[in-house]
Each structure stands twice: as C-alpha cells, then as structure tokens.
Amino acid sequence: MVNIFIHYNKESKKDTEFFEEIEKRIKILCHKQIINSYWHTGEILAGDDIDVVVRQQIGIAQIALLLISSDYFSDEYCQEIHALIVRQKTQHNLVVVPVLLRLCDLAGTDIEKYKALPEENSGNQFLNQWSDKDEAYTNIEISIRKLAEKIQTNPGDNSRKQQLQELLLGFNFKNEVPLYSKYIRTNRTVHAVLMQGTSKCSHGLLLHRIVGKSKKEIWVNLGSNVHAVSTENIWKIIGEALDVRIPLPASVCSQLGEVMAGDTELVIRFDPIERYHLDQLREFWKSLLNGLAPFKAYLNKPLYFYLVDRNGIGEVNIDLLCCDNLLTKDDVLYLQIQKLSRDDFENWLYEKLNDIPGSEVLEKIEAHRHEIMSGQEAFVGEVIEKICEVCGVVPDVVLH
C-alpha cells in the first residue's frame, strides 16, 4: 500500500482547518486499505533535526501533498521544508500533488508545473471557491484514491524500500515487546520506561513499535553539549511543545494535567541521554512528578516517560526514575534490549515467506540468510544493516 507525506503551514489556523478536513478523507482511505499510512509536517517536534526527519519520511512515501495558500508561500520555515521536498522528489520517485486551499497567485512558483487538486470545476480552482465543500473534499479523496491505486499497480523503485520498511518495523523484539505490553496494561498515572542497549541495538525500530500514533509525543534531544543542558532548558522544550507562553514548571505541569485530563495519551521521550545529563534529569523528573501530584485524581490518560540510553551507560539505572513514594522500582520498566538469535531470525523469515509468497525482497533475504546471520546471535541493528545492504536500501530508512 501507499504512504503519504503532507506538508502545510501548521502555524496558520485557516490552513490547519483545511488540513483537518483533508486528514479525515485520508483516514477513510486508510480504513479502506488503499493508504498504508500518512505523516504530516505538523508532527515535527521542538528539538527535531528537520532535515533528518523530513528526509526519513519522504524516504518511505510515494505521494507528497502540498497544501497551498498565501500562508504557505509567505512562511520561511514552510518554504525551507518545501525546498527540501522538491530536492528529494527525483531521488525518491515521489509524486508531488499540490492541494490548492485558498486563492493566491501561483505565477512564478514551481507549483505551476504540477497537476493540482481539487480538479477544476466550473472555474473553481481553489478549495475555498467551491460552494459545496463536501463535493470539493470528495473530489480530492477520489483523486488521491485513483493515484494510490495507479502507484500500486505500477510500483516504482520505491516499492522495495517501502516493503522492507513495513517488514522490519515488526521485526523481532520477542522479549521486549511482550514485557512492554504487559507493563502498560497496568493501571498507572505515570508509565516510566528505561530503554537501554548498545548503539547497535536499533532502539529506533523498537520505539516505532511501542510508541503509537495516537499519543502526543514530546521528544527532548539534549544533544552532546554538556554546557547547554539545564533543567530550565528541559522545561522550556516541553513548554514550547505544549504552547505554554512562560514555561515555568508550575505552568507546564498545569498544562500537562489538562492534556492528560482530556483524551490524549502523552509521551515525553528523552533520546538520547548521556552521563552528564543525569543530575539535570533527576532534578527535572522529581519536580515533574511533584507538579503532577495535585492533578492525579482528574487524569483520564497516563503519561509515558521514555528514557533512551543508546550507549549502555552504567550510571543510568532505575534508581534515576524512582522518586520517594511517588514512583518506586516496581513502577518502572527496565527494557534491556537483547540480542537476536539465529532461530528467531529464521522463524521470522519463513513466517513472512508464507504470508507474502513471491516477495522479491524476502526471497533475496532468504538467499543471503547465512551472510546476514553468520553467528548464533547478533544485535538487531547489525542484522538490519546487512538486510538493507543485501536489498540495496539505505539503513537510515528503517533504523531511525
């Protein structure tokens, strides 16, 4: 199935309203199993490396929808991402489709060379010109469906990459995923997870499996500069993600409480962490738990706190997340990523071969299975890198 990349000006309230209506139609196509998944630039978080995130999402997409308006063209940040999409278009065999939201002058822009939606009706080129908005959105939905079906019928070079990513996103972690699933079924206000392993363990792949799209995720990347790390910076990153104007701890905790009192599951993810982050993290974490305590009786959804140690630092342990009587060792999940055995690898491979007979990707993996898994066990990341090498796909697509 097809993956869709959507770019719009998330700071524009008018454009966001159009996006939300278009998103409903994309979800319908997902339910009909015409679209596999979609991602939009509104999901970029504070602290994310925009270039890396956008490249990764373009790498798995077949269609890019650009939601066009004067706000799209006037926003510098929006145009920066637009330029990146255009640069990546040829390399990734991406079909670019502008969706014309609100009346603006397209002359002199690169949008002129693409076939746009909605399909023109009685001179109504832009969505806001249509008197019957349901008809306009249905026009867009049908056009996207037809394009997706055409791509599926005539897959390009991107299909191998897409199939491999879908296969590997469900790859193994037979010990870690059941432990996590059991843990989150427990009734807790806060779920705290310490994920630990060496850099070759492929933490990113496991995170793809356990962090659902239904959750709101705040990704705190403290970087490698020890002098830039402070509790004030941490509160600022989280406050900005929650649109808190003055990100003081009390204000941020109040907003967190409001979000969790609603119908939103919230994830705060520290990834990666280094040994010189530990004092600041401990101070922040204790302050956060104390700040949420007054709201405990009103919370409908839990807070998920992920601490991702990609280097297996010995000083990072469960004690870091324990906080007097607020969070004990029994309340914390220690998720130590294990090595993959040869038996697990071959069981996965032959199960998939039975599920997807005739798959060129799986047949290639089978032909090189001894090269891919030369020993009795290996780290997941190492196995995936060898699979990607055999299949001629850049590992970044599935490892991050």
Region 201-209: mean pLDDT is 83
pLDDT of residue 396: 60
Q: State whether residue 42 is helix, strand or coil.
A: helix
What CATH number is given to the structural domain containing 267?
Answer: 3.40.50
- pLDDT for res 154: 62
From the list 219, 181, 191, 213, the residue with the least C-alpha distance to 292 is 191
> Residue 169 falls within a domain, yes or no?
no
Mean pLDDT of the region 380-389:
87
Per the domain annotation, does 56 fall within a domain? yes
Of the three residues 313, 336, 359, the one that is the final residue of a domain is 336
In this structure, the answer to whether residues 184 and 329 fall within a common structural domain is yes
CB 116 within 8 A of CB 124: no
Q: 373 lies in which domain range? A: 342-399
- Grade residue 145 by pLDDT with cuts at 50, 70 and 90: very high
Same domain, 268 and 358: no
Cβ-contact 170, 209 below 8 angstroms: yes
Mean pLDDT of the chain: 85
| CB neighbourhood size of 90 (10 A) | 8
CA neighbor of 169 nearest in space, from 120, 112, 211, 223: 211
Residue 365 inside a domain? The answer is yes
214 and 319 part of one domain: yes
Q: Report the C-alpha gap between 375 and 373 in whole angstroms.
A: 6
The CB-based long-range contact list for 117-121 (8 Å cut-off, 24+ gap) reads 117/143, 117/144, 118/143, 119/143
Same domain, yes or no: 304 and 365 = no
Residues 109 and 240 in one domain: no
Q: In whole angstroms, give the CA distance from residue 282 to residue 327.
A: 13
Residue 246 and residue 104 share a domain = no
pLDDT higher than threshold 80 for residue 279? yes
End-of-domain residue from the set 336, 352, 370 = 336
Instruction: Name the pairing type of β-strands 190-196 and 2-7.
Output: unpaired
Task: Tell whether 357 is covered by a domain.
Answer: yes
Please check whether residues 74 and 220 belong to one and the same domain. no
Which pLDDT belongs to residue 235?
93
Residue type, 276: Y
What is d(CA 78, CA 83) in angstroms, rounded to the nearest whole number? 9
Query: What is the tens place of the pLDDT at every residue in 40-51?
Result: 988 887 767 777
**251 with 367, same domain?**
no
Q: Nearest CA to 270 among 207, 333, 330?
A: 207
Q: Is residue 277 part of a domain?
A: yes
Asked if residue 30 and residue 10 are part of one domain, the reply reads yes
Q: What is the pLDDT of residues 72-109, one digit of tens each?
A: 999 988 998 898 888 877 656 789 999 999 999 999 89
Which CATH number fits the domain that encloses residue 143?
Answer: 3.40.50.10140
Q: Let me know if residue 367 belongs to a domain.
A: yes
Instruction: Using the 3D structure, point to which of 336, 365, 380 is the last residue of a domain.
Output: 336
**Number of domains comprising the chain:** 3
Distances (CA, A) of 313 to 321, 328, 333: 15, 21, 17
Q: What is the average per-residue pLDDT within 178-200?
A: 88
How far apart (Å, rounded) are the C-alpha atoms in residues 59 and 94? Answer: 9
Do the domain assignments include residue 353?
A: yes
For residue 68, the model assigns a pLDDT of 96
Q: State the pLDDT at residue 142.
A: 95
Same domain, 91 and 141: yes
Is residue 21 domain-resident? yes
pLDDT tier at 354, thresholds 50, 70, 90: confident
DSSP for residue 333: E
Burial class (CB in 10 A: 0-12, 13-18, 19+), 310: buried
Query: What average pLDDT score do residues 125-148 get?
Result: 92
Shared domain for 323 and 349, answered yes or no, is no
Among 12-26, 213-227, 365-379, the minimum mean pLDDT is found in 213-227
Per-residue confidence band for 356, with pLDDT thresholds at 50, 70 and 90: confident
- The fraction of the chain above a pLDDT of 90, given in percent, is 34
Q: Residue 185: which pLDDT band, with cuts at 50, 70 and 90?
A: confident
Per-residue pLDDT band at 66 (split at 50, 70, 90) = very high
pLDDT confidence band for 369 (50 / 70 / 90):
very high
Residue 32, CA atoms < 13 Å, CB-side half-sphere: 16
The answer to whether residues 394 and 249 belong to one domain is no
Inter-axis angle of helices 360-367 and 380-391, nearest 10: 110
Q: Which of 172, 187, 178, 205 is nearest to 308 (CA)?
A: 205
Question: 176-192: b or e for each residue (b if 16 or more CB lie within 10 Å)?
Answer: beeebeebeeeeebbbb
The reported pLDDT for the residue numbered 397 is 54
pLDDT band at 378 (very low <50, low <70, confident <90, very high): very high
Please tell me the distance from the alpha carbon of residue 247 to that of residue 257, in angstroms, as a whole number. Answer: 14
